[in-house]
Structure 1
Amino acid sequence: MPKKHHISQIPTVRRGCKPAAAAFLFSSLFLSGCATFSPDAGMGVVAGVAGETIKKDVISIRTQDDAQRADGAVKELLRRTLTVDSAVQVALLSNRGLQAAYNELALAETDLVADSLPPNPTFSISRISGSGAVEIERQIVGDILALATLPFRSEIARQRFRKAQLRAAEETLRLAADVRRAYYRAVAANELIGLLNDAKSTAESTAQLAQKLGETGSLNKLDQAREQVFYAETTADLATVRQDATSSRERLIRLLGLWDGDIGIKLPQRLPTLPRRPLSLPGIEVDAVTHRIDLQIARIELAALAKSLNLTQASRFVTMLDVAGIDRKTRDPEGAPFRERGFDIQFQIPIYDGGEVRVRQAAETYNQSFNLLTEKAVNVRSEARDAFRVYRSTYDIAGHYQREVLPLRKIISEEMQLRFSSMQVDVFALLTEARQRIAALRAAIEAKRDFWLAQSELQTAVNGGGGGEAQSQSKSSTTAQASGGGGH
C-alpha cells in the first residue's frame, strides 16, 4: 500500500495574519453557488428530440398541476377513435414507465450538480489538558487535488448528464415505436375478425346446405365432410384471431398506461390505406448515422472517457493532497498563554504504484469504447439499409395484392356468380371460389399490416429507440394463404 507522507509546519505568526493556504480553502466555500438545478430538469433536450422526430409533446409529471394537465389531454384524445399518432401521444403523456425514465434524468442532474461543486472542507477542534497546561487546536482541512481537478470533473459530469438526457429521449422513441407496433397489430386483428365473421357465415350456410342435400341423398359423405370441415376450421380460425385481437388490445392498453375507466379505447376496424408512393431515402445511411440516439450516446461516452483518460494521466503520481490551516492556543502551568498558527500538508508518495495501473485501465477502456462505437456505426448503416429494403418490399407486396390479386379475385367471383345464375356451375364450385377469395383477402390484410410495421421499423432504424418489443419473426406466407383455399 502507498505510504502517507506527512509534513507539518507550524510557524509562529503575528496576531491578525492569516495563512494563504487557509484563505484559499475558505474561498472555495463561496464557489458552491455556481452550480444550480435547471428549471426543466434537463427535459428540454427530450422535448426537442420528440418534437423533431415524432412530432409529439412530452411532459415530466412532478406536480399535481402537471398530472391534471396530462390527464385532461389524455381524456380528450380518448374521446375519439384512436389513430396511430394519437395513440403515441397518449402513451407519452400517460405511461408511468416513461415517467420513471424522466425521474432517472432528474437524478442524473443531481449527480451533475454534486460533481460540479467544490469539495467540502473539514473542520476539527481538539482540547488537551494535563499538569495544569491546556492546549486548544482548530483545523480546517481541504482536498486541494479535488479542487484543482474540479474543472475536469465538472466537464465529465456535464457529458454524463447529456448522455442521461439522450437516454431519456431514447426511451421516449422506444415507447413510441412499441405503441406503433401494438396499434397496427390490434387494428389488423380487428380487420381479420370482420373478414372471418363473413367467412364463417358463408361456411355455416354451406354446411347446412350440404347436410340437407345429404339427407336427400343428393350429396355423398365425402362432399358433406368437406363443407363441414371448412365451417369447423373457419370457426376455430375466428376464435384464434379474436384471442390475438384481445391480447393485442391489452398490449396496447399497457403501453398507453391506461387503467380503470380509460381502458375502453376505440380502435378502427380497418388498417389505413397504403400511401400512394413509398418514401425515397437515397441518403438513409447518412440520416441514420446523424440522427440515431444510441450512436450519439456512444459518442458522448467516448468523449467522457477521453477526458477521464486525460485526468488520470495528469494525476497519476498524486492521488491525495490535503492542506489544513491550523490555529493552536496553549496555556502553560504558570498561566501564560501563547498562540500558534500554521498549516499542515498530507500527500501520498508513489513508491509502489506510480499510477501506471490506472492509466493503463483508462487507456484500454477508452480503446474498448472506440471499437464499440465503430462497430455500432457499421451496424447502424446496415440496419438502416435493411430496414429500407424491407419497407420497400412490403410496400410492393401489399401494393401487388391491392392492384393485382384482389381485382382479379373480384373478377373471378363475379364471373362465377354469372355462371351459377345460368346454371353452368353448381353451388359447391361457387363456394370453392369463395374460400380462395377469403384466403386472398386475408393475405392482403396481413401484407398491409406488415407494411405498416416495416414503416415503423424504418423510422426506428433512422432515429433510434429500437430494442423494445420484438417484432414477430413468424410471418405467414401470403402466397401460400392466397392459394391455400380448399376445393373439390
Structure 2
Amino acid sequence: MHARNNAVGRSRPRRSRLQSSGCCLPFHDCALYEPAAGVACRMEAAESKCGSEIWQQRIGPRFMGWLQLPIRKHSSAVAWLLGLAGLLGGCASFSPDAGMAVVADATGATIQKDVVAVRTSEDADAVDISVKALLRNTLNVEAAIQVALLNNKGLQAAFNELGLAEADLVGQSLPPNPVFSVSRIAGNGGSEIERQVVGDILALVTLPFRSEIARERFRGAQLRAVLEVLRTAAETRRAYYRAVGANELVGVLTDAKSSAEVIAELAEKLGQTGSMNKLDQAREQVFYAEITADLASARQDAASSRERLARSMGLWDGNLNFKIPSRLPSLPQRPRSLPFIEVDAVSHRIDLQIAGIELDALAKSLSLTQASRFVTLLDVAGIDRKTHDPESAPFRERGFDIQFQIPIFDGGEVRVRQALETYNQAFNRLTEKAVNVRSEARDAYRNYRSLYDIAGHYQREVLPLRKVIADETELRFGAMQIDVFAVLLEVRQRIASQRAATEARRDFWLATANLQTAVNGGGSGDAGGEGRVTAVASTTSAN
C-alpha cells in the first residue's frame, strides 16, 4: 500500500489516511514488545542502555509521535530520524579482543591453560617463543596440551570464526542506511526538482530486538570457541597417551624379542644335538618370528601415534624432534570419587550451555516474528519538491511518503510456523542432549573406575606373580629340575602379561581423558545439531 501527503508552501497539511485510520498506535501498545507465551525478551543490564532501554524509555514514544507531526515540521522530523539511526548505531562497535576474553577465562577455569588468538606478527613471535621453550624439555601431558592450544592452526581458525561472529553482531546492531534520491524534470522553460530521504522504519523499530538476538548468538559463538579449545585439548591428551603407550609397548616387545631370540638359538642348538625334535624347534622359531613381526608393527604404530600427536600440537619442520617419555605414568594412589557426576556434567558441559543460549535466541526470534507477522514493509520518505514555472513564481512543496504492505494473501503464518517449529526442534534437541550428557557422564565414570581396577589388578597382582614365576623358573632350570620347554612356556606367558598390563594402563589414562570431556565437553559428538538450528533460525529471522 502506498500513502502520500504533500503540503504546498505554508498551508496547513491534511492528516494522512494512515493517521486518520488509527494505524499509528502508541508505542506501548505495539505487539512487538509482547513476548511469546513462556518466553521473556530480556537483555543484560549492561547492554540494555545501548538498545531497547533507550528505545522504550526515550525514543519509541517520540518516533510514534513523529508520524503524526504536522507536515510543516516534517523536514526537522526527517533530520531527527537520521539522528535516531545514528544514536542506535553508535552502540555497535568491535571489542579490542574480538570476544577472546570470555574464551580465555573459561579455558583457564576449566583446564588451567592459556589461549591466544594470533592476529599480529608480535603475537606469532610470542607464541613461537613459548612453544620452543616448552619443547626444549621432555613433554608431559599438560605441556603437550599447552603447545597445542598455542600452536594448533585449526584452533586459530576457530578463533577467526569468533571474529566473524562479532562482525555479524556489529552488522546486526547497525541501523539501516537511509536512501537519498534527487530527480529533476525540465521542459517548456520550467523545471521541477524533487529530493527524497527514505528510511526503513520496520528495520529501525526492530533493531534493538535483532541486536539482542545477535548478542545471544555471539555469546553462543564464544562458547563454541571454548568448546573447540576443549576438543583440541582432549584430542591432544588422547594422542599423548597413545604415543607414550606405544613407546612403552615397543620397549616391552624389544625385551621380548631379545628373550625370544635367546630361546630360538637355544632351540636350534638342542635340535642339532637331538635333544629337541623338529616340531618343538619350529614352534620356538615361529614364536621368535611372531615377536619380531609384532615389534615391527608396534614401532610403526608408535611412529603413527607420534605423528598424530604432532598434528594435534600443530608442529612441523624443525619442531618434530620433540621428546616424550618412554613409559606411561603410574596409576594414581586412588581413583577420583565423583558421586555427583551427572550434576557436574549438566552444569559444566559447554555444548549444553550452547544449546541453551541458542534456544533463548530462538525464543526471542519467535517473539519478534509473531509481533511483526503482518508487517514486512514499512518505508517512510521525506519529500522536498521545488518547481520553477516561467509563467508564475517558483514555489516549494514538502511532504512525506509512506509505503507498507497489506497482508491480504500472506498474513505471516508461514514465517510464524517456521519459527515455532525451529524453536520446538531446538527445545527437543536440548532435552535430548541433557539426557545424553547424563548418560555419557555415567558411562565415562563407570569405564574410568573399571579400567582403574583392571590396570591396578595387573600392577598389584598379575605382574608381581609373573616375576615370582620367572624367578622360580630360572632357579629350577639352573638346578636342572625343569626342562627348557617349561622355560619357553613361562617366557611366552610373561610377555603376554606385560603387554596386557601396558595396554590396560594406557586404556586407563585414555578413560581419564574421556571422563574430563564427559564432564566439561569437547568430545567428538558435542556439536550435535546446533549448526543446522542456527542456520534455520537465521533464515527465519531474516525473513
When normalised by structure 2's length, the TM-score is 0.84
Query: Per-residue deviation at 1:259?
Result: 0.8
Aligned residue for 2:405, secondary structure, equals strand
1:241-292 C-alpha deviation (Å, 9 max, x unpaired): 0110011001111111011100111010000000001010111101111111
State whether residues 21 and 324 of structure 1, in contact with CA within 8 Å, keep that contact through their aligned partners in structure 2: no
- The one of 5, 8, 12 equivalent to 1:12 is 8
C-alpha distance in structure 1 between counterparts of 2:367 and 2:190, whole Å:
52
CA distance in 1, matches of 2:232, 2:9: 67
- CA 1:83–1:13: 2 relative to 1, 3 Å: farther
What is the alpha-carbon distance in structure 1 between the residues aligned to residue 73 and residue 192 of structure 2?
A: 20
How far does the alpha carbon of each residue in 1:319-375 deviate from its partner, in whole angstroms, 9 at most, with x for none? 110000111111013362111111110000001111111111111111111111111
Q: Following TM superposition, by how much is the alpha carbon of 1:307 offset from its aligned partner in structure 2, in angstroms?
A: 0.3
Q: Paired residue for 2:354, among 291, 297, 305? A: 297
The 3-state SS of whatever aligns with 2:8 is: coil
Equivalent residue number for residue 393 of structure 2: 336
Q: Does 1:47 align with 2:43?
A: no
- Which whole-Å CA distance do the structure 2 matches of 1:457 and 1:418 have between them? 45
The partner residue of 1:213 within 270, 275, 280 is 270
Q: One-letter code of the match for 2:451?
A: T
Instruction: Identify unmatched segments of 5+ residues in structure 2.
Output: 12-71, 527-543
- Alignment equivalent of 1:443, drawn from 473, 497, 500: 500
How big is the shift at 1:388?
Answer: 0.3
Equivalent in the alignment of 2:24? none
1:400 corresponds to: 457
2:422 aligned residue: 365
Give the equivalent residue in structure 2 for 1:134. 191
Give the deviation of 1:13 after TM superposition.
4.4
Asked if the contact 2:74–2:400 (Cα under 8 Å) also holds between the matched residues in 1, the reply is no
Structure 2 vs 1, CA of residues 393 and 174 (structure 1 numbering), >3 Å: closer, same or farther?
Answer: same
Query: Are 2:254 and 2:295, in contact at CA under 8 Å, matched by a contact in 1?
Result: yes
Residue pair 1:141, 1:322 contacting (<8 A) in 2 also: yes
| 2:81 aligned residue (14, 21, 25) | 25
The C-alpha deviation readout for 1:406-448, integer Å capped at 9, x for no partner, is 1111111111111112110123312321211111011000000
In structure 2, distance between residues paired with 1:468 and 1:17 = 61
Distance, in Å, in 2 between the alignment partners of 1:13 and 1:166 is 59
Aligned 8 A contact 2:193 2:386 in 1: yes
Q: Hey, what does 2:156 align to over in structure 1?
A: 99
How far apart in 2 are the matches of 1:153 and 1:468?
A: 30
- Give the distance between the partners of 2:455 and 2:400, measured in 1 at CA: 81
Deviations along 1:280-326, one digit per CA (max 9) or x if unpaired, are 01111011111111100110111001001110111111111000011
3-state SS, counterpart of residue 354 of structure 1: coil
Q: SS state of the match for residue 274, structure 1? A: coil
CA contact (8 A) 2:107 2:113 kept: yes
The answer for the alignment partner of 2:63 in structure 1 is none
User: What displacement does 1:468 show?
Assistant: 7.0
2:114 aligned partner? 57
Aligned AA (2:86): F
Residue number in structure 2 paired with 1:461: 518
Assess, with a 3 A threshold, how the Cα gap between structure 1 residues 127 and 445 changes in structure 2: closer, same or farther: same
- Cα distance between partner residues in 1 of 2:164 and 2:357: 19
The answer to whether the Cα contact below 8 Å between 2:346 and 2:434 also exists between their aligned partners in 1 is: yes
1:172 and 2:229 aligned: yes
Select which of 403, 409, 412 maps to 2:469. 412
The answer (yes or no) to whether the contact 2:7–2:399 under 8 Å persists in 1 is yes
**Counterpart amino acid of 1:235?**
T
Q: Is the 8 A contact 2:350 2:521 kept in 1?
A: yes
Following superposition, the deviation at residue 24 of structure 1 comes to 3.4
Any conservation in 2 of the 1:25–1:121 contact (CA below 8 Å)? no
Measure, in 2, the Cα distance between the counterparts of 1:163 and 1:435.
56
Q: Alpha carbon RMSD of aligned pairs, Å?
A: 1.4
The 1-side partners of 2:398 and 2:91 are apart by 31
* 1:183 maps to which of 240, 244, 265: 240
Distance 2:217 2:416 in 1: 21
How does 1:64-463 map onto structure 2 within 5 Å?
A: 64-334=121-391, 336-463=393-520
What displacement does 1:216 show? 2.0
CA shift for structure 1 position 66: 0.4
Preserved contact between residue 6 and residue 345 of structure 1 (Cα < 8 Å): yes
Which runs of no fewer than 5 residues in structure 1 stay unpaired?
470-488
- Residue range with higher mean Cα deviation, 432-441 or 227-236: 432-441
Q: Distance in 1 between matches of 2:85 and 2:371?
A: 25
Q: Deviations over 1:112-157 (max 9, x none)?
A: 0110111111111111111211111111111111111111101000
Distance, in Å, in 2 between the alignment partners of 1:53 and 1:106 is 22
Structure-1 separation of matches of 2:244 and 2:421: 50
Structure-2 separation of matches of 1:148 and 1:104 = 29
C-alpha distance in 2, partners of 1:417/1:206? 13
* Structure-2 change in CA distance of 1:308 and 1:220 (3 Å): same
SS at match of 2:334: coil
- Kindly provide the amino acid, as one letter, of the partner of residue 100 in structure 1: A
Measured against aligned partners, the alpha-carbon deviations of 1:202-239 in whole angstroms (never above 9, x if no partner) come to 11111112112212222110111011011000000001
Structure 1 residue 18, shift from structure 2 partner: 4.3
Distance in 2 (alpha carbons) for counterparts of 1:147 and 1:267: 59
CA distance in structure 2 between the aligned counterparts of 1:145 and 1:221, rounded to whole angstroms: 94
Q: Is the Cα contact below 8 Å between 1:21 and 1:343 reproduced in 2?
A: no
Cα separation, partners in 2 of 1:370 and 1:13, compared to 1, 3 Å = farther
Equivalent in the alignment of 1:481: none
Distance 2:73 2:231 in 1: 63
Give the Cα–Cα distance (whole angstroms) in 1 for the partners of residues 213 and 77 of structure 2.
27
1:115 and 1:13 map into 2 onto residues whose CA distance is 40
Residue equivalent to 1:479? none
Identity across the alignment (%): 72
- From 35, 38, 58, the equivalent of 2:95 is 38
The number of residues matched between the two structures is 465
Q: Deviations 1:151-206 (Å, cap 9, x if unpaired)?
A: 11010000010011011110110011100111101100100111111111111111
